[in-house]
Amino acid sequence: MDKFSVIEVNDSRWSEIVSKSKQFDFHHSQSYHLLEIAMKNNSSNEKKAVPDDFGQTITLSEEKENRPVLLVAFFNDDFIALPLIVRAIPNTSFFDCTSVYGYCGLISSTDIKDIPSEKTLYFKEQLLRFFESNTIVAAFSRLHPLIATDVFFNNFGLVKDINKTVAIDLRLSPEEQRAQYRKSFKLQLNKLRREGFEVVKAQTKEDIDAFIDIYHETMHRVEASEKYFFNHGYFHAFIDTKCFKAIVLVAKTQGKIVAGAIFTIANNIMQYHLAGTAETYLKDRPMKLILDEARLLGNELGLDFLHLGGGVGGSDEDSLFYFKSGFSDYRCEYKTWQMIVDQEKYNELVEKTTADVNSSFFPLYRAV
């Protein structure tokens, strides 16, 4: 018998469903959704760091503004699931949905393309019922570039092409992978190693804190928005999570940490997550060495992809995308799904804002 369930973020079934999915990444995990809410309950001020036991401190009664849910349709042993965060729309009695920071989207026990049409239709009908019964005006989700799920949303909202992302195909031999490197990268990597730069795993709290300080310095230097200034508690909770593996690789020279990055590992996908380089060493480009060593680690672990992501703000032409594209010819398509559930209410909310009607931001009433 077909069954639709709304699984809350403290329910252990969340992790069970994700682990049984054909394809998934750390963005889908229960821990990552718990951490997202923990951050919203705490100031970015260092004095209010996310507690180490964040997964046990949040209940839905405490957090009404942002409610992570895993919406699941069960078909005997098979399932389709979509993680979303239900958010209160300020100064209204209505809600909308979004996805966690990063790449999320649909998961399933089988390949999305193999899901029978009647099961797809059932899940869509149940999603609409959930949206309507919870006065949800609009829904939005970022879709994972390595997990092809956009076909599911045909005739169900709108799928938008955002930009390309870069991945290193770890299924190739290490030599074939390196052959795709930009020529200047190969020369710079050799130079970094000759000059004594090395990459190691951060093992101690002191090493991790040194990386966090460099990350914060980097965010200030690039004038990143406030949402990127994760506090120390966030980093330590992220690294210690049990739902996926998180590794901090740091570049050192003469015993000093000069750059670092967090990499996640889940379901044969390694993800380049958060990174930073000390300003004094920018000219040396030690992040190139970190990514090269991450690739080699991924090979050792038998992973399929090292996903580097894309440019800033969906750009295929900025310096960040150019940097990442120097490591691989493999390109993925990053897309988003958006759906207006209640068009009349959506229009009313837009009319009450000062948002630019030509903006591509969704939902438009949150563009301000």
Bridge partners (DSSP) of residue 159 are 337
For residues 104 and 71, membership in a common domain is answered with yes
Q: Are residues 308 and 217 in the same domain?
A: yes
| 93 and 174 co-located in one domain | no
Do both 229 and 273 map to the same domain? yes
Is 209 in a helix, a strand, or coil? helix
Is the same domain home to 15 and 131? yes
Domain count, the chain: 2
211 has a pLDDT exceeding 50: yes
Give the separation between CA 19 and CA 42, rounded to whole angstroms. 29
Q: Give yes or no for residue 95 having a pLDDT over 70.
A: yes
DSSP string, 107-148: EESS-GGGS-HHHHHHHHHHHHHHHHHTTEEEEEEEE-TTS-
Query: Which pLDDT score is estimated for 64?
Result: 53
Mean of per-residue pLDDT scores for the chain: 91
Cβ(26)–Cβ(47) below 8 Å: no
Residue pair 159/337 in contact by the 8 Å Cβ criterion: yes
One domain for residues 285 and 318: yes
Domain CATH number, residue 120: 3.40.630
- The Cα–Cα gap between 102 and 26 comes to 10
Beta carbons within 10 angstroms of residue 229's beta carbon: 15
Residues 16 and 151 in one domain: yes
Quote the domain boundaries for residue 311: 166-332
Per the CB < 8 A criterion, the answer to whether 330 and 324 are in contact is no
What is Dmax (Cα atoms) for the chain?
64
Q: Is the pLDDT of residue 52 over 60?
A: no
* pTM for this predicted structure: 0.91
183-196 burial, b at 16+ Cβ within 10 Å, e below that, comes to eebeebbeebeeee
Residue 196 and residue 154 in one domain: no
Mark whether 341 and 271 lie in a shared domain.
Answer: no
Q: Which residues contact 319 (CB under 8 A, 6 or more apart)?
A: none
> Could you read off the pLDDT of 309-354 as tens digits, one per residue?
998 766 677 899 999 999 999 999 999 999 999 999 999 999 998 8
